[in-house]
Amino acid sequence: MNILEVEHLKIWDSLTGRILVTDSSFHLSQGECLAIVGESGSGKSLTCRALLRLNRSGLRQSGDIILNGINLSGLPEKEMRKLRGNRLCMIMQNGMRAFDPSRPVGAHLRETLAVHTPWSRSERSENVKRAMESVGFNDPCAVLARYPHELSGGMLQRVMIALAIVLEPDILIADEPTTALDAVTQFEVVEQFEQLRSRLGSSMIFVSHDLGVVKRIADRVLVMKDGEIIEQGETGEIFSSAQHPYTRYLVSSKMALQRHFRQLMGGDGVAEG
Ligand SMILES: Nc1ncnc2c1ncn2[C@@H]1O[C@H](COP(=O)(O)OP(=O)(O)OP(=O)(O)O)[C@@H](O)[C@H]1O
Ligand SMILES: [Mg+2]
């Protein structure tokens, strides 16, 4: 069963008329992890944000986004807000921008949970504490009392992952969740995602430049280039017998580069599976 179906998604800049994502169609089935790969500027983040209708107002989108049979394209903003965080949860590429700079990160978490869960105050803080510990914070309360600028990009990323763990969304969209992290934390975070999936059966869209991670956790891969999906298929097929020359180039060059980098760093980093 498909939990999400995207049909003919198009995104353009209303000011210049430039088309940024062209006629994108893909689906996500229940419990599946779909990776989106492709070079910088190929439209991965725009696509993810379009699913939640979170792109900047100057950008327009058309096409159908069907979540569990409901077409989100025609949904009023109020309904969309209810879905975000509850059914669809996104971990942004830039952790800093996801938080209100004028308040401690804990305030953001408490507010989000108050809106999206029926829990009491003490249940909320207990669940947040446990999730924060599970993403590697030994002293969750101290972290929650800090302002976003007082935390590193990697820490903010982990706070967002903790929030996603607490919210247990139907679909988790993670836009390069490990890019800002060091190798050890990266490994732990990828493990978190795997656990989240096996524990909750969450469906996931995972954007990453790290093809080693993609190979390890994705069931299917979607390859984007210049705003277009040029290929999609089972992970094994994409890595061993891609049809499109660009995919073959991406797989061979990136894997070689990452191997080289890990050798230089004197370790394996995230296993290539
Ligand atoms: N708010 C915006 N207004 C106009 N153009 C934009 C806007 N945001 C992104 N773009 C353009 O859309 C294209 C796709 O951007 P997007 O952020 O989706 O790329 P990406 O694949 O996520 O890249 P990266 O791997 O670097 O994160 C780029 O050419 C970018 O310049
Ligand atoms: Mg991006």
Tens digits of per-residue pLDDT, 214-224?
A: 998 999 999 99
- With bands split at pLDDT 50, 70 and 90, how would you rate the model's confidence at 271? very low
Q: What is the DSSP string of 59-113?
A: EEEEEEEEETTEEGGG--HHHHHHHBTTTEEEE-S-HHHHS-TTS-HHHHHHHHH
Q: Given this model, what pLDDT does residue 267 score?
A: 60
Separation of alpha carbons 109 and 272, rounded Å = 34
Which of residues 140, 168, 196 is at a domain's end? Answer: 168
* Across 130-155, average pLDDT: 90
Same domain, 14 and 78: yes
Same domain, 104 and 71: no
Same domain, 270 and 205: yes
Question: What's the CATH code of the domain at 259?
Answer: 3.40.50.300
Tens digits of per-residue pLDDT, 170-213?
A: 999 989 877 767 777 777 778 877 877 777 788 999 999 888 88
* Across 5-17, average pLDDT: 97
Residues in CB range of 116: below 8 A, 6 or more apart: 85, 86, 167
Indicate the number of domains in the chain. Answer: 2
Q: How far is the CA of 237 from the centre of ligand 2 (A)?
A: 24
Which of residues 123, 149, 168 is at a domain's end? Answer: 168
Same domain, 177 and 141: no
Site to probe by mutation for ligand 1, drawn from 24, 46, 222, 254 as the one with most ligand atoms within 8 Å of Cβ, is 46
* Across 38-43, average pLDDT: 95
Q: Atom 31 (ligand 1): residue with closest C-alpha?
A: 41
Q: What is the mean pLDDT of the chain?
A: 88
Same domain, 118 and 63: no
- With bands split at pLDDT 50, 70 and 90, how would you rate the model's confidence at 273? very low
Q: Which structural domain range is residue 148 located in?
A: 88-168
Same domain, 175 and 164: no
* CB-based burial, 189-201: b 16+ in 10 Å, e otherwise: bbebbeebbeeee
Q: Please, what's the largest Cα pairwise distance for the chain?
A: 55
Tens digits of per-residue pLDDT, 86-124?
A: 789 888 766 667 788 999 999 989 888 888 888 999 999
Q: Given this model, what pLDDT does residue 160 score?
A: 87
* Across 20-39, average pLDDT: 96
* 40 touches ligand 1 (CB under 6 Å): yes
Same domain, 149 and 160: yes
Which of residues 152, 168, 184 is at a domain's end? Answer: 168
Separation of alpha carbons 142 and 14, rounded Å = 44
User: Which letter does DSSP use for residue 227 in this model?
Assistant: T
Same domain, 62 and 94: no
Same domain, 220 and 133: no
Q: Given this model, what pLDDT does residue 165 score?
A: 83
